[in-house]
Structure 1
Amino acid sequence: MAARDLTLRMRRKVILDQVDFSARAGQVTAIVGPNGSGKTTLLRVLTGEIAGQIDPGGSVTMGGVDVTRAHPAVLARRRAVLAQQTALSFPFTVLEVVRLGAEGPGGEARALDALARVDLAHYGGRYYQELSGGEQQRVQLARVLAQLEEPVGAHGPRWLFLDEPVSALDIAHQLQVMQIAADFARAGGGVIAVMHDLNLTAMYAQKVVLLQQGRCLGAGPAEAVLTDDLLSRAYGCPLRMGVAPGTGLFLLPQSAQITHVPSALDIRS
């Protein structure tokens, strides 16, 4: 998957500024950066949700398909998207929600299998609104997994797009979800995930894209991008990465210091 020269403006503000992006099937690619850096916007462009809003000259392709021009049904067979939040106004059961992503013959079996993979095997008959935020997030992940069936299809690798997939989860389920993503990539699919947890990013991502104010500050293997210098520049505070024997890179938050907290006056100005 590749995107070139992405510039996107909203209300005359530049959200993405000449961003180039690439990701390979068989890998987990993480998009990281501070709040407001354009991570979710970039993901939405890559999925085709707002690809039509990029400035002329920009391009997004997925397995040879022009995402900016493809029909939604064509994209749905090649990728599935887990959004940050999904609000449901009607009293659907958990199984009904997951079945939304599992059309055609065998859809219910795929939905039940997906629920088992996210540790919700016996939740099918419960109402979605009765679940905790973390449980709802895992239900939505099950829907996404049920949609794609297999990591590789007739048209080549399929893609999982995950926007902050572990934000509401306890540590055990964070690891479970990231392992699901890693397994999907290992089986030949592609995974692109917006992440805030830099330690999980270092553990699971083969490629990291670091954004700051809509620009790409760095892209490459975790050890090349998750550096003291780049992270400190991106997040605006001194950060230090460490290396633990046998486990690799890690960020110790206790080593960071806030040098300036924006005030209300700063925000208004």
Structure 2
Amino acid sequence: GFEIDDTSIVSITIEENHDDHDDDDHDDHDHDEDCVSGDANMDGSIDVSDIVLLVGFIVGNNALDSSHDCADFIHDGNIDILDIVALVAVILGERGEVATSAEFTERDNVLVMNANGIVGAVQITLSHGNDFEIELTNNSLVAEYHTDKNTTTLIVVNPVDDIFTTNNDYVIEEIIAATTDGYIATSWVKPGAIELSNAYPNPFNPSTSFDLNVSSAGFVSLNVYNLNGQLVDVIFEGNMDAGIYNMTWNGAELSSGMYILQAVSAEQVSTQKLTLLK
């Protein structure tokens, strides 16, 4: 379910003005070309129902009523939580200073988020056993999940603190958090955790250094992705003993832009946003 604190701002209807065309030209245009950007349910307005539909589409619970282009609110070629965050900002307005990082911890079977500002949306992928049960927070705008065999994907829009509750074991495979400024750094702290220190310098050119804290021996991968989720570099992949490792990444062969540094161990994921400026 979802709640809206300010019920006076729930829908924006956009009237489109079109130049006059003759009938033949009008017939050549598809309906989707005249859609309102972000209007996922094609009702002529942008409101919370569009956010609900987009969330369900991303986690895998439903199809879209509109074309891909209509639902792609920020026009980057993808339908993801960045579109959701941008839609929320249009509908409800800015709510305060946006976060630059978010830390997730487990307390009494509850996954809790602690951020240094406003987080627009969180998407988490879990792996688990066959009898997994989960209850999402009620303290959000929209919260929805989809379970396929031993994998659950969930999205919480406008999260405050609690994300979900479960009495079952699980492994966090991925955490993505976003604001109106884009993706932000995330970390998952629990016994046996792996942590990234703040990279320095950041922004950087062409290299930056950081510490990797491995609490328990095991397999570790340390990768760099672009903002489209494409792997651009493998810094390390293999077994590590427990300890603190000083690491350096050189981005000399890549173009300027924002990248996501991701450290993964058997039980946790830690990410950090890096900016390469040439």
TM-score scaled to structure 1, two decimals? 0.23
More RCO (CA 8 Å, sep 6+): 1
TM-score scaled to structure 2, two decimals? 0.23
Higher helix fraction (1 or 2): 1
Higher strand fraction (1 or 2): 2
